[in-house]
């Protein structure tokens, strides 16, 4: 038997085919979770899998699994994959590269007639991004918890107000006639995910492969100031209870301090809204999201506390109220040493230069680490740019990443 080989042209053609689903005029993709585009991408992956003779399954969260049988089919599978959903103005590689690389590995094993000692399964997790329905990584989290949290039932989509539960059921139903059903949380021996770095280190240092040793923590807050809407022309300063004034004052203070005083912290406001949104009325409410990240949980605690205090101070100064809801609390994780060592051995054997790194982005692997030993491989992306339509990975880097991923899978199957 010739050893399994990545077919680089096939991988690159697949990336193009998936980038066409939800393609935006700006060269990126808008394929947000549980939309028609997301369903189309799942259908394409299912069709490709069936054409290769792999069996395909989904669970109640619409997580998609593609199975290559092993010589002992009773053993828990090695799980490899990523996600197919995107940001609203997202790139072609975030998630898709990892999912299609995992699928390319399955195909390359099949091409070589390689029968793994245990099953290998590719997974496409549902709603990694969390932008249409918060939180992110819903599919991975429900899988690890073994059930769908009750509080997700009534969630509504940020874009069109669709109910999460309706969209989930419709997505499952779209492929149900063709697929087997899986229970959430079945045992797996390990989980491995490839992703673009979404930061500049690998490109700057000219290193093709990052071995990810852990993921920093993330918290999302939804903040709403409520004051009193009133006439823009007649309401003097002392009569105003302006929630936008409170919000902008708080944000100015937070922008001036959070990141400049904590080099490793990341503070982002990605969405802001006022009601009723009239040119000649003081707003009734002013709201925003806050995305806060840091590698250490205790520092995140302190930062969150000081952010809450700033928001409360600003509310008091304008005689408005503020409500803060935490929608995401992802603790930092450290990946399994054994798995990281296996990746280092694979890289040595395949002669790849590597660098260890912590992920600034969250990933499905962060949750899977609570279920089975998990790890990740990063590949460089141009200018470190991601969550942007211009996101780009050199074809050579995509193919090198896939070779490293195949070498890692073979090492884990030994």
- Contact 353/207 with Cβ under 8 angstroms? yes
User: Nearer to Mn ion by C-beta: 92 or 245?
Assistant: 92
Residue nearest to ligand GLV (CB): 361
Q: Cα(first)–Cα(last) distance of the chain, in Å?
A: 16
User: Nearer to ligand GLV by C-beta: 6 or 328?
Assistant: 328
Helix, strand, coil percentages in the chain from 3-state DSSP, rounded to 5: 40, 25, 40
Residue in this structure with the two tokens 């990946």, named with its chain if needed? 335
DSSP result, 95-120 = THHHHHHHHHHHHHHHHTT---SS-E
Among 119, 135, 136, 380, binds ligand GLV (CB under 6 A): 136
Which of the residues 70 through 99 are near Mn ion (CB under 5 A)? 94-95
| Interaction partner, residue 164 (ligand GLV, Mn ion, none; CB < 5-8 Å by kind) | none
> Shortest distance, CB of residue 195 to Mn ion, whole angstroms?
6
Which of the residues 325 through 364 are near ligand GLV (CB under 6 A)? 361-362
| Interaction partner, residue 116 (ligand GLV, Mn ion, none; CB < 5-8 Å by kind) | none
User: Nearer to ligand GLV by C-beta: 370 or 395?
Assistant: 370
| Interaction partner, residue 95 (ligand GLV, Mn ion, none; CB < 5-8 Å by kind) | Mn ion
| Interaction partner, residue 136 (ligand GLV, Mn ion, none; CB < 5-8 Å by kind) | ligand GLV
Task: Identify any residues that bridge with 321 across adjacent strands, giving them in sequence order.
Answer: 226
374-379 vs 209-215, strand pairing mode:
antiparallel
| Interaction partner, residue 362 (ligand GLV, Mn ion, none; CB < 5-8 Å by kind) | ligand GLV
Burial class (CB in 10 A: 0-12, 13-18, 19+), 272: middle
User: Nearer to ligand GLV by C-beta: 67 or 141?
Assistant: 141
| Interaction partner, residue 411 (Mn ion, ligand GLV, none; CB < 5-8 Å by kind) | none
64-68 vs 120-125, strand pairing mode:
antiparallel
User: Nearer to ligand GLV by C-beta: 46 or 86?
Assistant: 86
| Interaction partner, residue 107 (ligand GLV, Mn ion, none; CB < 5-8 Å by kind) | none
- Please provide residue 391's backbone torsions phi and psi, each rounded to the nearest 5 degrees: -45, 135
Q: What is the DSSP letter of 122?
A: E
| Interaction partner, residue 208 (ligand GLV, Mn ion, none; CB < 5-8 Å by kind) | none
The pair of structure tokens assigned to 76 is 């828990």
User: Nearer to ligand GLV by C-beta: 136 or 283?
Assistant: 136
391 binds Mn ion (CB under 5 A): no
Task: Identify any residues that bridge with 21 across adjacent strands, giving them in sequence order.
Answer: none
> Shortest distance, CB of residue 128 to ligand GLV, whole angstroms?
6
57 binds ligand GLV (CB under 6 A): no
129 binds ligand GLV (CB under 6 A): yes
User: Nearer to Mn ion by C-beta: 94 or 397?
Assistant: 94
- Contact 377/209 with Cβ under 8 angstroms? yes
Q: Which residues of 347-386 are buried (b: 16+ CB within 10 A; e: fewer)?
A: beebebebeebbbbbbbbbbbbbebbbbbbbbbbbbebbb
Q: What angle do CA 39, 12, 411 make, to 5 degrees?
A: 95
Question: Which residues are near Mn ion by CB under 5 A?
Answer: 94-95
Question: Which residues are near ligand GLV by CB under 6 A?
Answer: 129, 136, 361-362
């Amino acid at each position: 038997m010739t050893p399994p080989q990545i077919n680089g042209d096939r991988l690159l053609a697949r990336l193009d085919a998936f980038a066409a689903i939800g393609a935006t005029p700006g060269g990126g993709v808008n394929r947000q979770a549980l939309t028609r585009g997301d369903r189309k991408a799942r259908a394409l992956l299912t069709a490709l899998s069936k054409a290769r003779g792999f069996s395909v399954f989904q669970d109640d969260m619409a997580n998609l699994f593609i199975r290559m049988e092993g010589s002992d089919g009773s053993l828990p599978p090695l799980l490899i994959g990523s996600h197919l959903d995107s940001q609203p103005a997202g790139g072609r590689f975030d998630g898709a590269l990892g999912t299609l690389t995992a699928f390319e590995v399955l195909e390359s094993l099949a091409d070589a007639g390689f029968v793994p000692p245990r099953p290998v399964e590719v997974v496409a997790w549902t709603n990694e991004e969390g932008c249409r329905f918060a939180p992110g990584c819903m599919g991975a989290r429900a899988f690890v918890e073994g059930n769908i949290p009750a509080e997700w039932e009534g969630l509504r989509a940020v874009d069109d107000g669709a109910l999460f539960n309706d969209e989930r059921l419709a997505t499952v139903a779209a492929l149900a006639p063709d697929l087997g059903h899986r229970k959430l949380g079945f045992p797996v021996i390990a989980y491995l995910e490839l992703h673009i770095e979404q930061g500049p280190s690998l490109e700057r240092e000219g290193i093709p492969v990052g071995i990810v040793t852990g993921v920093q923590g993330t918290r999302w807050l939804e903040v709403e100031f409520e004051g009193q809407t009133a006439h823009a022309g007649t309401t003097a300063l002392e009569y105003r209870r302006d929630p936008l004034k409170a919000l902008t004052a708080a944000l100015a203070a937070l922008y001036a301090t959070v990141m400049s005083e904590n080099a490793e912290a990341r503070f982002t406001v990605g969405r802001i809204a006022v009601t009723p949104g009239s040119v000649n009325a003081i707003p009734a409410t002013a709201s925003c999201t806050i995305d806060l990240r840091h590698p250490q949980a205790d520092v995140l605690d302190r930062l969150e506390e000081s952010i809450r205090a700033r928001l409360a101070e600003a509310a008091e100064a304008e005689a408005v109220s503020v409500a803060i809801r935490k929608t995401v609390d992802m603790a930092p994780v450290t990946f399994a040493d054994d798995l990281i060592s296996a990746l280092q051995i694979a890289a040595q054997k395949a002669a790849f230069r590597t660098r260890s790194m912590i992920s600034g982005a969250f990933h499905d692997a962060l949750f899977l680490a609570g279920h089975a030993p998990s790890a990740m491989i990063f590949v460089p992306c141009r200018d470190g740019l991601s969550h942007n339509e211009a996101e780009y990975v050199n074809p050579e880097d995509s193919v090198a990443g896939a070779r490293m991923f195949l070498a890692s899978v073979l090492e884990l199957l030994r």
